[in-house]
Amino acid sequence: MQNAEQTMEKLQSSKGKALLSKMYGEGQLADQIARYRSLVQTYKEYFGDGELALFSAPGRCEIGGNHTDHNHGKVLAGSINLDTIAAAVKVDEPVITFISEGYEGKFEVDLTQQEPVADEASTLSLVRGIVAGFQEMGCEVGGFKAYISTTVIPASGLSSSASFEMLIGSILNTFYNESKLDAVALSKIGKYAENKYWNKPSGLLDQMACAYGGLITIDFADPEQPVVQPVNYDFQNSGYSLVIVNTGGNHADLTEDYAAVPNEMRAVAKALGTEFCRDLAPEDIYRNLNSLREQCGDRAVLRALHFFAENDRVDAQVEALQAGQLDRFLELITDSGNSSWKWLQNCYQETDVRHQGITVALALTESYLKLINKGACRVHGGGFAGVILAILPNEEAAKYAEFIKDTIGTSTFIINVREQGAICLGLEG
C-alpha cells in the first residue's frame, strides 16, 4: 500500500494499465484511469492521505437460471465491467467510516455494535451484517475509511447490493484476514448480511457472480459447497453483444414479490414431502397436479414447473456455448424468457398492472429482433421491475440502443464479462 500520489503512479504504470485493460477493456483505459484518479483525489479531500489500497467488485449479469438458486438449482452468470470501487485506508479505531458517491453525508458503523439497529439505513445494515458474518466465521474485523463510487445501476437487477457487499468483504478480507477468504466464503457472508440484517430472502447467486469473476455456471445442489465451473466463451469475439436495458422501473420495494417466488416453489416441494424443488422432478408435479393446484395454487405450480425447465436449460446453454452453437444458445435464451414471462410470472407486479416497464421493453425488443432475424432477449435478474437482457449482433448494438432511446427513452449498457471478481487491485511492487 502507498499514499495517494504513489497509488496514482502505480495505476498509470504498465502493470496498472494492463490490469485496468483486462478489467474494463482497452477502449475504456483512459476513462478508468481518470475515474480512479478522481476516486483517490476525493478520498484525500475527505479523509486526508494515508496508506491507500484500491478495490473493485463487479456487478453481475444473469444469463441463465432465472430464480433457481434459492431452490438449490443451477445458474449461468458472469461478472461485468460495471463495478463498485473504493479507495480505502486501514485504521486502528473499531469504526468503519465511508462516503458513497451520490449519497449525502458520512456513514459510520461502530464495530462494537453487532446487533441489527432498528430503522437503520440499509447501507449501514448491510455493513453491520457483513461484519457480523465475518465474526460468525471466526474471522478478524477492524476499522477502515473509504470513499466509494459505483457504475452499477442501483435497484435494477445488476446486483448493486451484492457488488457493494463483496467490496466491503474484500476490504475486510485484505486488511484483516490476509486475503484468505475465497469467493464462496465472501458470498456466504454477503448472503448472511442480506438475510439477517436487511430482511432480503436472497439466494447465493448474486454474491457468487460478483465475487468469483468471469463467465461461470454454479450448481447450488449443496448451497454450503456450490460447484463452480468456468465457461470459456467470449460473446463479443463471437460477434454478439450483451446489452442491458434499463426499463425505467425500480425494484427496491419489491421484497414481497421476490419472496413469493421461492416461498411458492418451496410450498410445492413441502406438499410433496421435501424442502426444495431440486429434490423433485416434473413427474412428481404431474402425478399430483390436481391436489397441488388446490393446496398451493396454480401460480405456485407454474413456478415449480419453471424451475425444472430452467434448471435443465442451464446445462443446455453451457453445452451450446462449449460446442460453439450460438444459434442454439440464443434459442434457449428465448425459451428462458418465455418461461419467466408465462410460468414464473416475474415480469410485472400483479398489484400494479398499469406499470409494466419490463414487458413493454421485451415486446419492443422482440419486434426489433424479429426484423433483424437475429438475437434473443429475456427478463434479467429478479424481475418485476428493473432491466432486461438483449443479446444481438455487435453491429446492431448501437442501433438497438438508439431504438430504445427513441421509444422507451431509457438507457442501455453494452456490457462485457470480466475475468476479475471482487479484488484488491494489488499494485504494490
Q: What is the mean pLDDT of residues 247-273?
A: 87
Interval 385-412: pLDDT, tens? 889 999 999 999 999 999 999 999 998 9
Name the nearest CA neighbour of 416 among 261, 214, 216, 263: 214
pLDDT value for 427? 63
CB distance 238 to 244 below 8 Å:
no
Residue-by-residue DSSP string for 292-309: HHHHH-HHHHHHHHHHHH
**Burial category of 418 from C-beta neighbours within 10 Å (exposed 0-12, middle 13-18, buried 19 and up):** buried
Q: What is the mean pLDDT of residues 94-102?
A: 95
**Burial category of 351 from C-beta neighbours within 10 Å (exposed 0-12, middle 13-18, buried 19 and up):** exposed
**Burial category of 282 from C-beta neighbours within 10 Å (exposed 0-12, middle 13-18, buried 19 and up):** middle
Residue-by-residue DSSP string for 151-162: -SPTTSSS-HHH
Interval 121-136: pLDDT, tens? 888 999 999 999 999 9
Interval 338-351: pLDDT, tens? 999 999 999 999 99
The 3-state DSSP class for residue 95 equals: strand
Interval 185-244: pLDDT, tens? 999 999 999 988 887 777 788 999 999 999 999 999 998 899 999 999 999 999 999 999
Gap between the terminal Cα atoms of the chain: 9
- CATH code, residues 4-62+80-210: 3.30.230.10
- What is the rounded CA–CA span in Å between residue 66 and residue 63? 8
User: Which residue has 489500497 as its cell numbers?
Assistant: 53
CB distance 421 to 84 below 8 Å:
no
Interval 33-47: pLDDT, tens? 999 999 999 999 999
pLDDT value for 250? 58
CB distance 244 to 397 below 8 Å:
no
Q: What's the whole-model pTM score?
A: 0.89
Q: Which CATH superfamily is domain 236-415 in?
A: GHMP kinase, C-terminal domain (3.30.70.890)
User: Which residue has 409494466 as its cell numbers?
Assistant: 356
Share of the chain above pLDDT 70, in %: 97
Interval 307-339: pLDDT, tens? 999 999 999 999 999 999 999 999 999 999 999
Q: Which three cell numbers stand for residue 412?
A: 442501455
pLDDT value for 8? 86
pLDDT value for 429? 44
The 3-state DSSP class for residue 236 equals: helix
- What is the rounded CA–CA span in Å between residue 24 and residue 9? 19
- What is the rounded CA–CA span in Å between residue 377 and residue 185? 32
Q: Which three cell numbers stand for residue 328?
A: 442454439
- What is the rounded CA–CA span in Å between residue 84 and residue 281? 39
252: pLDDT confidence band, cut at 50, 70 and 90? low
Sequence ranges of the chain with CATH classification 3.30.230.10: 4-62+80-210
The 3-state DSSP class for residue 36 equals: helix
108: pLDDT confidence band, cut at 50, 70 and 90? very high
Q: Which three cell numbers stand for residue 230?
A: 468456468
pLDDT value for 203? 72
Sequence ranges of the chain with CATH classification 3.30.70.890: 236-415
Buried b (16+ CB within 10 A) or exposed e, 255-273: eebbebbbebbbbbbebbe
- What is the rounded CA–CA span in Å between residue 74 and residue 307? 10
Q: Which residues, 6+ apart, have CB-to-CB distance to 229 below 8 Å? A: 216, 217, 218, 318
